[in-house]
Amino acid sequence: MARFGILTGGGDCPGLNAVIRGVVRAGVNRYGHQIIGFRYGWSGVLEANTVELTAQNTSGILHRGGTILGTSRTNPYRDGADGTALVREVLEREGIDGLIPIGGEDTLGVAARLSGDGVPIVGVPKTIDNDLSGTDVTFGFHTAVQIATDAIDRLHTTAESHNRVIVVEVMGRHAGWIAAYSGVAGGADVILVPERPFDIDEVCESIKRRHARGTTFSIVVVSEGAMPRDGSGITTAGAKTDAFGHARLGGIAVELEREIEERTGFETRMTILGHVQRGGTPTAYDRVLATRFGVKAIEAADRGEFGSMVSLRGTDIVLAPLADAVAEPKLLDDDLYDTAEVFFG
């Protein structure tokens, strides 16, 4: 019998509990291991804040959003700290034989660094943004897209009734996956993503052309990380940063609302979906993907296949090098954006 630790770090994401349940159910029932949960991401490791996870206390969580372990954006290496020594000391004290961190670029970035220093790790990739390399899809993305699509459907009917332009801001720090998917699914007239810096004049011209043809409303979907092409004064980032140095995004829709109304003369309103996209029940797709990731992760840990990350390749769950997760972000597929553009303006 071995003792494996598990933690959830970074932004929460629908499906985290399904991964935890998969790890525990297979780990305890199939392999006879003990599973120790660390609360609140890397902070729980640094503070040895633990809870033993059993089939009983992880029952009934499959459909629940969030994470029963809690999460944080704690960085063990912050301010030059020797994060490896701090983590290793706690793992040794707690008798942990291997760690399963579930996270995005930052949490798995810490995991990759620990792994490089010899700490036994199997990573599980998560982010609603779907921008992690090394896996075709991350769980949580499908749910976020569904939530955003439902919102766009609702905004469509009110935009149409009032002859308005409505700007819908969705999440997506480096990549426009959520904007592109929900925009295509919701029939957006303009989609703005971080990968394609936009020109506000072109956006407004395209809306004006559409209205000149007799349409009286438009839907603009924008990623929080979308950037204007020139220095038009539109900003997306606030001054605050997290422990990994990322700016807090959110609010580009406020600027777009003002600019579009001023430049086109059409009444324009905006909606920022924000954390609504991260909360609540995961879709069936995400529950299945997350469950498969969890079961595969503990299987890899049982076999001592450390330094790896579970990954979806086509329809198969495979192991990829953990370092792949922290390579360059997986940016939006050009083909998908080209398809979306057919419906612009």
- Active-site residues: which are they? 129
273 binds ligand F6P per the rule CB under 6 A: no
C-beta of 40 vs 306, nearer to ligand F6P: 40
CA distance 115 to 307: 6
Is residue 121 classed as helix, strand or coil in its secondary structure? strand
How near is the Cβ of 311 to ligand F6P at its closest, in Å? 18
Is residue 337 classed as helix, strand or coil in its secondary structure? helix
C-beta of 28 vs 256, nearer to ligand F6P: 256
Q: How many CA atoms lie within 13 A of 39 on its CB side?
A: 7
Binders of ligand F6P among residues 173 to 232 (CB under 6 A) are: 173, 224
129 binds ligand F6P per the rule CB under 6 A: yes
- Please give the C-alpha separations between residue 76 and each of 61, 114, 137, 167, 233, in angstroms, as whole numbers: 29, 10, 27, 38, 36
Neighbours of 334 (CB within 10 A): 10
Taking Cα atoms as reference points, which of 91, 119, 111, 88 lies closest to residue 322? 111
Per-residue interface string for the shown chain with ligand F6P, residues 86-115, x marking contact by CB under 6 A: ------------------x-----------
Residues contacting ligand F6P: total by CB under 6 A: 12
C-beta of 84 vs 283, nearer to ligand F6P: 283
C-beta of 127 vs 311, nearer to ligand F6P: 127
How near is the Cβ of 87 to ligand F6P at its closest, in Å? 22
Taking Cα atoms as reference points, which of 22, 26, 48 lies closest to residue 36? 48
CA distance 202 to 196: 13
How near is the Cβ of 204 to ligand F6P at its closest, in Å? 26
Task: List phi, psi (to 5°) of 192.
Answer: -115, 125
C-beta of 171 vs 221, nearer to ligand F6P: 171
C-beta of 96 vs 256, nearer to ligand F6P: 256
75 binds ligand F6P per the rule CB under 6 A: no
- 74: buried, middle or exposed (CB in 10 Å: 19+, 13-18, 0-12)? buried
Q: How many CA atoms lie within 13 A of 144 on its CB side?
A: 32
Question: Is residue 135 a contact partner of residue 293, using CB atoms and an 8 Å limit?
Answer: no
Is residue 102 classed as helix, strand or coil in its secondary structure? strand
11 binds ligand F6P per the rule CB under 6 A: yes
C-beta of 90 vs 128, nearer to ligand F6P: 128
How near is the Cβ of 224 to ligand F6P at its closest, in Å? 6
CA distance 164 to 158: 8
171 binds ligand F6P per the rule CB under 6 A: yes
CA distance 60 to 294: 16
Query: Which range, of 45-53, 125-133, 145-153, 295-303, touches ligand F6P by CB under 6 A?
Result: 125-133
332 binds ligand F6P per the rule CB under 6 A: no
236 binds ligand F6P per the rule CB under 6 A: no
Exactly one of 96, 100, 192, 249 binds ligand F6P (CB under 6 A); that residue is 249
How near is the Cβ of 157 to ligand F6P at its closest, in Å? 27
Question: Is residue 295 a contact partner of residue 272, using CB atoms and an 8 Å limit?
Answer: no
Which residue has its beta carbon closest to ligand F6P?
171
| Residue that has been written with the tokens 């490089």 in this structure | 116
How near is the Cβ of 226 to ligand F6P at its closest, in Å? 12
- Residues interacting with ligand F6P, by CB under 6 A? 11, 104, 127-129, 171-173, 224, 248-249, 278
